[in-house]
Amino acid sequence: GAGVSQSPSNKVTEKGKDVELRCDPISGHTALYWYRQSLGQGLEFLIYFQGNSAPDKSGLPSDRFSAERTGGSVSTLTIQRTQQEDSAVYLCASSPGLGALYNSPLHFGNGTRLTVT
């Protein structure tokens, strides 16, 4: 697609429910990143995919968080048993990948605003 697309744009869920957030990166971008942005905080790195592999999952806040990527394209971030502290904007970004130049920026989607009540 023309840009990074995320859905839903807004999600309100009850504490304890599971949620799935979707990211569709720019066509041809092999690298995909998930970040979390809370009020007054910077972008917190969660996980990175190169193709379908996630070399580093250490940024995920707890084992309630998981992510997968299939076909080297769409990625899903799943949060199980949501807690109020999970409320944040979840941003996805993509870039051409490791073979690209260092000056290749990350291209961000508009994010999913998650509210846990």
Partner 1 sequence: GQNIDQPTEMTATEGAIVQINCTYQTSGFNGLFWYQQHAGEAPTFLSYNVLDGLEEKGRFSSFLSRSKGYSYLLLKELQMKDSASYLCAVRPPINQAGTALIFGKGTTLSVSS
Residues forming the site for partner 1 (CB under 8 A): 4, 31, 33, 35, 40-43, 45, 48, 50, 55-56, 58-59, 91, 95, 97-98, 100, 102-111
Minimum separation from the CB atom of position 17 to partner 1 (A): 24
Q: Which is nearer to partner 1, 14 or 39 (CB)?
A: 39
Alpha-carbon gap, residue 3 to 10, rounded angstroms = 18
Q: Which is nearer to partner 1, 68 or 81 (CB)?
A: 68
Minimum separation from the CB atom of position 7 to partner 1 (A): 14
The DSSP letter of residue 85 is: G
Q: Which is nearer to partner 1, 1 or 105 (CB)?
A: 105
Instruction: Using the CB atoms, write b or e for 4-22: b if 16+ within 10 Å.
Output: bebeeeebebeeeeebebe
Alpha-carbon gap, residue 117 to 105, rounded angstroms = 35
